Amino acid sequence: MTPAVRLLESRGVAHRVTAYSVETASESYGLDAARALALPPATIFKTLLARLDDGRLVVALVPVDASLDLKALAKAAGARKAQMATPAEAERATGYLVGGISPLGQKRRLASFIDDSALALDEIHVSAGKRGLELSLAPRDLITLLEATPVALARH
């Protein structure tokens, strides 16, 4: 059981955990998950970390078939610029390995932003904290747990 799953269970949040086989090296773990689970990519959100120009790390969630608009993220976070965190920074801050970073149960609580397309979904899928393990839950529950700010972050 990962910290993300433990968090959901401790809070009594309805969720589902699904395991699937994953390639050891992948170009896109999120798109691999969409294929393996036969889910629309727009319902699976990847967890990305970015560093703002003031040094803060923030979490951004966008659909796996989109890229993160760093300018929109910086603006939403009240910064001038943002850049992607290095894999080592992301792993150190979250306690998870790249390709399995969950937005939930991270080692450090970071400000979180989620693409507002999540608001139109009945169910959202995010990493459960391990490659090959996916969480499904209501977007509103995820937003509440993360205290996430919904904002237009995705570029298709």
Strands 149-151 and 111-115: parallel
Structural domain count, the chain: 1
The pLDDT score that the predictor gives to residue 150 is 98
pTM of the model: 0.93
The pLDDT-based confidence of 35 (bands split at 50, 70, 90) is confident
Report yes or no: 52 and 81 within 8 Å, Cβ to Cβ.
yes
CATH number at residue 46: 3.90.960.10
CA 124 remoteness from chain centre: 10
Tell me the residue range of the domain where 100 lies: 3-155
**Average per-residue pLDDT for the chain:** 93
Q: Give per-residue pLDDT as tens, 88-110.
A: 999 999 999 988 999 999 998 99
Q: State the pLDDT at residue 24.
A: 64
CA distance 152 to 130: 27
